[in-house]
Amino acid sequence: MRVSVDGSDVEVPAEATVLEAIHAAGRTVPTLCFDERQAPFGACRVCLVGVAGAPGPQPACTTPCRADIEIDTTDAVARRVAAAVVELVLSELPDPPAVHTELARVARELGVWGREPRWRGAVRERRQDLRHPYLALRHELCISCGRCVRACDEIQGAFALTATGRGFEAGIAVGMDVGFRESSCVSCGACADTCPTDAITEPGLLELLA
């Protein structure tokens, strides 16, 4: 079916999402909880876009296209809300994320990177699991995007990771919060590969590459 992205028509399959239509049109919109290998999750709200006739910005990743939908990736309200969300995300980290991370890139795209922090309040607790030979977990860098948990579930099928807690305290745990070494983790690295903040990394591999 035919849809419109930023004024240009593009042909997409009937079951396409708004995000797929944006990509088909050669356009982009920032995302944080999205990984094309995983089912859309709709948690981060950074992919908000304008849709003609909708009551407000719509998340591109979980919104299905309909014929003749008009999508606007430059919608001012959507960009403003997305930027505000990423500013909130940065405010929950005790330290800024590393410059090379996906979170830092998205923050730069939305113009909130390097800004004087406006939100001063509770931050994530520093807690680390560095005992596994290939995988390191720094809980204070986790933004609860769920990508690692879904990678372990949908890609690897190991189910070694889970979301934990609720509200501001939401986080992740490996196994019954025992860390990578004592869990059913098979060391595949899918979680580290998808992590947008370096909360989960493969330090062993980085050392080899260096």
Partner 1 sequence: MSRNLVELTGRGHSRGAPTALEVLKEAVERSGALSDEDRRRAAAASGLPEATVYGISTFYEDLLRPRGRRHVRVCTGTACFAATGGRHVAELEQALGVRLGERSADGACSLAETVCLGLCHSSPAFREGEIVDAGEGAIGRIAGAGAREAAEPEWRSVLPEPVLTRRGDWSGLGHALSSLTPEQLLEEVTAAELRGRGGAGFPAGRKWGFTRAAAGGRKFIVANGDEGDPGSYIDKYLLERSPELVLEGMALAGYAVGASHGVVLVRSEYPRARGILERAVADARRRGWLGPDVRASGFDFDVSILEGAGSYVVGEETALLACIEGLRGTVSARPPFPAVRGLYGMPTVVNNVETLANVPFIARHGAEAYRDLSPGATPGTKLVCFNERFAKPGVWEVRFGTSMRELCEGLAGGIADGHSLKALQIGGPLGGILPAGLLDTPFDFDELAARGCMVGHGGIVAFDERTDMRAVARHLLRFGADESCGKCFPCRIGLRRAEEMFAADAVVDRLRLEELLETLELGSLCAHGGGMPAPIRSLLAHFPNELGLG
Given the rule CB under 8 A, which residues bind partner 1?
A: 32, 39-46, 48, 56-57, 59, 62, 64, 77, 80-82, 84-85, 88-89, 91-92, 118-119, 121-122, 143-144, 146, 150, 153-154, 157, 159-170, 173-177, 183-184
Nearer to partner 1, 116 or 207 (CB): 116
CB of 21 closer than 8 Å to CB of 3: yes
Q: What are phi and psi of 207, to 5 degrees?
A: -65, -40
Nearest residue (CB) to partner 1, 97 versus 146: 146
Cβ 194 to partner 1 shortest distance, Å? 15
4 CB burial (10 A radius; 0-12, 13-18, 19+) = middle
Nearest distance in Å: CB 200, partner 1: 14
Q: With contact defined as beta carbons under 8 Å apart, do 99 and 93 qualify?
A: no
Q: How far apart are CA 201 and CA 166, in angstroms?
A: 24
When the beta carbons of 4 and 91 are compared against partner 1, the nearer one is: 91
Query: Quick one: 52 or 209, whose CB is closer to partner 1?
Result: 52
State how far the Cα of 197 lies from the Cα of 178, in Å rounded to an integer.
21
Closest separation between CB of residue 83 and partner 1, Å?
Answer: 9
C-alpha span between 110 and 85 (Å, rounded): 10
Q: How far is the CB of 77 from partner 1 (least distance, A)?
A: 7
- Least separation in angstroms between CB 121 and partner 1: 4
Nearest distance from C-beta of residue 24 to partner 1, angstroms? 20
In degrees, rounded to 5, the angle at the alpha carbon of residue 51 between the alpha carbons of residues 47 and 57 is 50
Tokens of 130: 């560095």
Nearer to partner 1, 50 or 189 (CB): 50
According to DSSP, residue 93 is labeled S
Q: Give the C-alpha separation, 210 to 206, whole Å.
A: 6
Question: Is residue 92 within 8 Å of 168, Cβ to Cβ?
Answer: yes
Of 25 and 160, CB closest to partner 1: 160
